[in-house]
Each structure stands twice: as structure tokens, then as C-alpha cells.
Amino acid sequence: MKLSRSILFLTIASLFAFASITFAQDNSKAAVNSTAALEKKIMTTIENLPNYGVFDHISFALTDNGTVTLSGKVLSLGTTSLAKSAVSKLAGVTNVVNNIENLTSNPGDDHIRHQLLRTLAPQAVIGGMLQEPNPSVRLIVENGRVSLEGWVANKGQKDTFFVLASGVPGVFKVTNDLRVGKPDKV
């Protein structure tokens, strides 16, 4: 009789231990899924900001405690404060640190922006990546320096953007930060 009680006790204890391990694994998977879902919401919120265009780039980092750090550079007026306000309203976001820089509009950089679009947009292979709304490639121009941000489908497109942008008159330097593949976050 004592042996059967011991076996029964061990069996029940083992079942509880197994259930606890399974519950803990399910909770960690749920946390990963909820983080991915929140990152997607943040990315969609940023992409849908009014006036967020081809000359603006905002990226973000999300911590485990719900703090979102926004960074990047924008030309569009008011986009910096709109981004912070919109992201802070999302469920799961506890704090927003806004490190987005506002670019100034000056004749030299404005001319380069215009020339970049005139050079890149007509290209059959890459031109569609600059179309509004939500272009997959962003052109950041600051003091004659161009930064290519965003996503392209392959290395050939990445190289094409770089070569053509480098040939635009007035451009001192091109930094090619284009990523190949699908975006997972901004």
C-alpha cells in the first residue's frame, strides 16, 4: 500500500512539474509573439504618418519594458512630434524616447533632392521603390551628403541606387545603408 501511494505521489508530482514547464514555455512564446506584434504596429504607425515621405527616415528600437527609442532624420515639418505622439498611444508602449533629427531645407540640398528623384525615379528596375505612399527606399540629404535607407529586393538594386546617386551633381558622399530582403522593422 505504501508503495502504491509513493508511486501515485511521484506520478502526480511529475505531472505538475511537466505542466509548469509547458506553461513557462507557452508564456515565453507569447511574449515573443507580442513583441513581434508590437514591433509591427510601431512600424505601421510610422509608415502611416502624414507627410512621411521619401526624404524622411525613422527607425526604432523596442526594449522589453515597452520603451521605444525613435531615431532617424526627417525633412517633413512636424513629423518628429507626430511620430512620438502616435507611437506613445500604442498599447504596450510605456515610454517613447525621441531622437529623430529635423533636417533643414536649404537650396543646395533641395537641388540635390530634386536631381536624385529626376535620376532615380525613371529607372525601370528601381523607380517604383521611391513612389509614395510608403516608399521602400528613403533618400536622406544633409549638407551634400546622401544616405540611402530602406529595403531593396536584391544586391543589384542596392548597387544601382548607389552608382546613380553617386553621379548626381553636388553630392559629396553617398552612404548606402539599403538592406537586401524584407523589412522586419523600420
Q: Which domains does the chain have, with CATH numbers?
A: 1-101 (3.30.70), 107-180 (3.30.1340)
For residue range 11-22, list pLDDT tens digits in order: 454 544 444 444
CA distances from 150 to 72, 98, 107, 158 (A): 12, 20, 25, 10
Q: Give the integer Cα–Cα distance in Å for 127 and 120.
A: 6
Omega cis (within 30) before 133 = yes
Q: What is the pLDDT of residues 14-46, one digit of tens each?
A: 544 444 444 444 444 444 458 899 999 999 999
What is the tens place of the pLDDT at every residue in 99-149? 999 999 999 999 999 999 999 999 998 989 998 888 999 999 999 999 999
pLDDT tens across 50-104, in order? 989 999 999 999 998 999 999 999 998 899 999 999 999 999 999 999 999 999 9
